[in-house]
């Protein structure tokens, strides 16, 4: 394919070198945004940002990253892989170095937005380098590993952050990321990808489409990121942003629908098979929000910090590695659907296992459930991408741009919509449970009165005024009630995710059985049809 490297026969040491560079690139490409997400409170405090301002930092990265695949594929098809690699990585190095000197909210948002574009370049290179490490017959395994590497960035960011922060302020995080980026640039310059075919492919209308799609998708990402923080119906700008995104996206699709050589194959994107794939891909990423929002959010609500979550993220990292390796080792065309279905089952099991959490739940209590979820996250990504790639290539190489946009969109929107939806649901359920709990806190009740007395006695050594002691006791009891309401709300979230997973599994099994039955019927008709008689 134009824009992809050729696949010559490499010696074993060279294949190992390509694989190691792919690992370096994959981790580097995903680590920047993961470090921001894992240490948002530290960065927010250092820059003096409000919670809504702090939320713009990861949002800016995703707002740009979500649409970059529109131009990256055509860029490397027209200008070549080496220029694509060296320019993209050079920009990424400059931006990571700029992070070290960032001061102020506006500059921080700009750097994160630009990093969203450059980070997509590095993640693409990781997949291309990993493919070089495998023979042609095993390139499916290379695709599984290449796609899965970037998923390791989130647990690694949580594991590395405490040690890096101990060395200094939050800038140390970006000194480390800048070092990785420099190492990646050096590795790409020294070990170059084999040359590939180049074609002249850019058209003037491509830039018009990009100018419409990029802000349209960015506005959707902004609303999903800020909706739970600023609340959906309290900020008029969110409604205007969604309206503008609908207008921009509709205009882009109208232009593409009527083009002779479209950037996006709108007819293929609108087909029933493609829509079903998009829904399944988005739903998988949506229900996996149980991990990064549900379990971690519950533990943080219970007062767990990065140091206490260290062991849990180590389990998540091991689960991801196990899922990726299992998917690669068992890879075959027949195993793709069973791997995806197994991932859905594991997500459901993990969600229901977490649904009985209490205020005494600690990270060790979630090792098994989060290990299952991480294993599922590592196992489904490669097979899912392979299904989409094969569906696109059946129609021709020009459909790869459309597939790249579709896959990126489903994973990004699913990853944003999950925390937004479940976070909003958790807030609503917390208010409900708080009203139920506080409604039973009658000071005339002997049990409640005894609890208030115990809470007040805690401050007897430091507070002599009985009225103030009573007020502090009431405050402590209210805080305990709020904590219990939050735990119950998170349990509701886990149950909803479990029920959604069961529904999704049933839907997937229905379509899998129907497709297998249709294929068997077609094969039987071909067998029963007699050959034509030649006269």
Domain for residue 526, yes or no? no
Q: Which residue has the higher pLDDT, 494 or 269?
A: 494
d(CA 485, CA 204) in angstroms, rounded, equals: 56
For residue 212, name the pLDDT band (cuts at 50, 70, 90). confident
346 and 424 together in one domain: yes
For residue 102, name the pLDDT band (cuts at 50, 70, 90). low
Confidence check: pLDDT of 535 > 60: no
336 and 390 together in one domain: yes
Q: How far apart are the first and last CA of the chain?
A: 44
Name the domain boundary from 221, 247, 262: 262
Long-range contacts of 339-343 (CB under 8 A, 24+ apart): 339/379, 339/380, 339/383, 340/280, 340/284, 340/380, 340/383, 340/384, 340/508, 341/505, 341/508, 341/509, 341/512, 342/376, 342/379, 343/284, 343/376, 343/377, 343/379, 343/380
User: What pLDDT, on the 0 to 100 scale, is given for residue 184?
Assistant: 83
495 and 396 together in one domain: yes
User: What pLDDT, on the 0 to 100 scale, is given for residue 431?
Assistant: 85
User: What pLDDT, on the 0 to 100 scale, is given for residue 450?
Assistant: 65
Dihedral sign (CA 501, 503, 504, 510): positive
The CATH number covering residue 391 comes to: 1.20.1250.20
- Angle (CA) 490-495-497 rounded to 5° is 95
User: What pLDDT, on the 0 to 100 scale, is given for residue 215?
Assistant: 85
Per-residue model confidence as pLDDT tens digits over 132-163? 888 877 777 888 888 888 888 888 888 887 77
User: What pLDDT, on the 0 to 100 scale, is given for residue 169?
Assistant: 63
* Residues 419/180, Cβ–Cβ less than 8 Å: no
- Of the candidates 222, 288, 284, 208, the one whose C-alpha atom is nearest the C-alpha of residue 253 is 208
- Of the candidates 323, 438, 336, the one whose C-alpha atom is nearest the C-alpha of residue 387 is 336
**How confident is the model over 187-194, as a mean pLDDT?**
84
Domain for residue 69, yes or no? yes
**How many separate domains does the chain show?**
3
180 and 210 together in one domain: no
Domain for residue 248, yes or no? yes
| Spatial CB neighbours of 280, under 8 Å, sequence gap ≥ 6 | 340, 384, 504, 508
87 and 159 together in one domain: yes
Tell me the two tokens of residue 472: 């502090």
Confidence check: pLDDT of 494 > 60: yes
d(CA 84, CA 73) in angstroms, rounded, equals: 10
Task: Quickly tell me which residue has 């101990």 as its tokens.
Answer: 166
DSSP 120-148: HHHHHHHHHHHHHTS-GGGHHHHHHHHHH
- Of the candidates 412, 5, 410, the one whose C-alpha atom is nearest the C-alpha of residue 197 is 5
Confidence check: pLDDT of 534 > 60: no
- Angle (CA) 427-432-437 rounded to 5° is 120
Tell me the two tokens of residue 45: 């405090």
Q: DSSP character for 366? A: G
Domain for residue 527, yes or no? no
Domain for residue 238, yes or no? yes
User: What pLDDT, on the 0 to 100 scale, is given for residue 512?
Assistant: 75
Per-residue model confidence as pLDDT tens digits over 12-34? 888 888 889 888 888 887 777 78
Q: Which residue has the higher pLDDT, 439 or 308?
A: 308
**How confident is the model over 254-258, as a mean pLDDT?**
83
CA distances from 146 to 20, 21, 312 (A): 11, 11, 24
Domain for residue 254, yes or no? yes
User: What pLDDT, on the 0 to 100 scale, is given for residue 465?
Assistant: 59
Confidence check: pLDDT of 393 > 80: no
Per-residue model confidence as pLDDT tens digits over 442-490? 666 666 666 666 665 665 556 565 666 666 666 666 677 778 888 888 8
**Orientation angle between helical segments 204-230 and 69-79, nearest 10 degrees:** 150
User: What pLDDT, on the 0 to 100 scale, is given for residue 463?
Assistant: 59
| Spatial CB neighbours of 468, under 8 Å, sequence gap ≥ 6 | 459
User: What pLDDT, on the 0 to 100 scale, is given for residue 97?
Assistant: 76
460 and 316 together in one domain: yes
Q: Which residue has the higher pLDDT, 373 or 86?
A: 373
20 and 147 together in one domain: yes
Per-residue model confidence as pLDDT tens digits over 340-362? 888 888 888 888 888 888 888 88
Q: Work out the number of other CB atoms within 10 angstroms of the CB of residue 355.
A: 18
- Per the structure, the complete domain to which residue 243 belongs is given by 204-262
Per-residue model confidence as pLDDT tens digits over 56-85? 877 888 777 777 777 777 777 777 767 777
- Angle (CA) 365-289-177 rounded to 5° is 90
User: What pLDDT, on the 0 to 100 scale, is given for residue 180?
Assistant: 82
Q: DSSP character for 534? A: P
User: What pLDDT, on the 0 to 100 scale, is given for residue 475?
Assistant: 64
- Angle (CA) 53-33-39 rounded to 5° is 65
268 and 164 together in one domain: no
270 and 236 together in one domain: no
Q: Work out the number of other CB atoms within 10 angstroms of the CB of residue 13.
A: 8
Name the domain boundary from 150, 170, 202: 202
Beta strand residue intervals within 419-505, DSSP E: none
429 and 487 together in one domain: yes
* Residues 350/376, Cβ–Cβ less than 8 Å: yes
16 and 163 together in one domain: yes
Tell me the two tokens of residue 189: 């310059």
d(CA 376, CA 340) in angstroms, rounded, equals: 8
d(CA 382, CA 236) in angstroms, rounded, equals: 40
User: What pLDDT, on the 0 to 100 scale, is given for residue 329?
Assistant: 83
Q: What is the mean pLDDT of the chain?
A: 78
**How confident is the model over 388-404, as a mean pLDDT?**
75
Per-residue model confidence as pLDDT tens digits over 217-236? 888 888 888 887 778 777 88
d(CA 79, CA 67) in angstroms, rounded, equals: 19
d(CA 12, CA 207) in angstroms, rounded, equals: 42
| Percentage, residues of the chain above pLDDT 70 | 87
User: What pLDDT, on the 0 to 100 scale, is given for residue 476?
Assistant: 67
Domain for residue 532, yes or no? no
Q: Which residue has the higher pLDDT, 48 or 250?
A: 250
d(CA 303, CA 314) in angstroms, rounded, equals: 19
3-class SS of residue 357: coil
User: What pLDDT, on the 0 to 100 scale, is given for residue 118?
Assistant: 72
- Angle (CA) 254-257-259 rounded to 5° is 110
For residue 401, name the pLDDT band (cuts at 50, 70, 90). confident
241 and 268 together in one domain: no
d(CA 22, CA 191) in angstroms, rounded, equals: 11
């Amino acid at each position: 394919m134009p824009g992809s490297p050729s696949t010559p026969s490499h010696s074993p040491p060279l294949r190992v070198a390509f694989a190691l560079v792919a690992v370096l690139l994959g981790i580097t490409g995903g680590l920047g945004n993961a470090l921001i997400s894992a240490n948002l409170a530290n960065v927010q405090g250092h820059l003096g940002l409000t919670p809504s301002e702090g939320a713009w930092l990861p949002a800016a990265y995703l707002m740009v990253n979500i649409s970059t695949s529109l131009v990256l594929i055509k860029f490397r098809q027209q200008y070549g892989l080496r220029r694509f690699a060296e320019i993209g990585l050079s920009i990424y190095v400059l931006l990571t170095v700029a992070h070290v000197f960032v001061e102020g909210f506006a500059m921080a948002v700009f750097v994160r937005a630009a990093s969203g574009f450059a980070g997509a370049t590095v993640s693409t290179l990781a997949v291309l380098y990993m493919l070089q490490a495998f023979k042609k017959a095993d390139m499916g395994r290379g695709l599984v590993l290449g796609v899965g590497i970037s998923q390791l960035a989130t647990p690694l960011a949580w594991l590395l952050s405490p040690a890096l922060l101990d060395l200094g302020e939050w800038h140390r995080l970006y000194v480390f990321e800048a070092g990785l980026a420099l190492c990646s640039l050096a590795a790409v310059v020294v070990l170059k990808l084999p040359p590939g075919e180049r074609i002249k492919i850019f058209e003037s209308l491509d830039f018009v489409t990009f100018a419409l799609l990029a802000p349209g998708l960015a506005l959707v990402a902004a609303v999903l990121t800020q909706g739970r923080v600023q609340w959906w119906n309290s900020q008029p700008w969110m409604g205007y942003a969604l309206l503008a995104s609908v207008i921009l996206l509709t205009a882009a699709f109208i232009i593409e629908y009527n083009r002779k050589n479209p950037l996006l194959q709108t007819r293929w994107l609108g087909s029933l098979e493609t829509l079903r794939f998009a829904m399944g891909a988005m739903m998988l990423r949506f229900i996996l929000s149980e991990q990064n929002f549900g379990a971690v959010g519950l533990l943080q609500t219970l007062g767990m910090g990065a140091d206490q979550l260290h062991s849990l993220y180590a389990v998540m990292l091991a689960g991801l590695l196990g899922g990726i390796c299992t998917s690669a080792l068992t890879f075959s065309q027949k195993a793709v659907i069973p791997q995806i279905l197994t991932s859905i089952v594991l997500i459901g099991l993990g969600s229901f296992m977490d649904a009985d959490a209490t205020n005494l739940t600690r990270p060790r209590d979630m090792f098994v459930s989060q290990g299952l979820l991480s294993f599922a996250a590592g196992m489904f990504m490669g097979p899912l991408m392979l299904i989409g790639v094969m569906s696109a290539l059946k129609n021709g190489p020009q459909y790869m741009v459309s597939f790249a946009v579709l896959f990126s969109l489903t994973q990004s929107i699913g990853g944003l919509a999950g925390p937004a939806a479940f976070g909003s649901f958790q807030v609503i359920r917390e208010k409900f449970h708080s009203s139920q709990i506080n409604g039973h806190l009658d000071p005339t009740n002997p049990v409640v009165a005894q609890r208030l007395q115990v809470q007040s006695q805690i401050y007897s050594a430091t507070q002599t005024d009985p009225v103030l002691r009573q007020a502090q006791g009431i405050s402590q009891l209210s805080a305990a009630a709020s904590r219990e309401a939050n735990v119950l709300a998170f349990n509701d979230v886990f149950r909803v995710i479990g029920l959604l997973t069961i529904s999704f599994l049933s839907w997937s099994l229905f379509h899998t059985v129907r497709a297998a039955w249709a294929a068997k019927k077609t094969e039987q008709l071909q067998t029963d049809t007699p050959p034509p008689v030649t006269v």
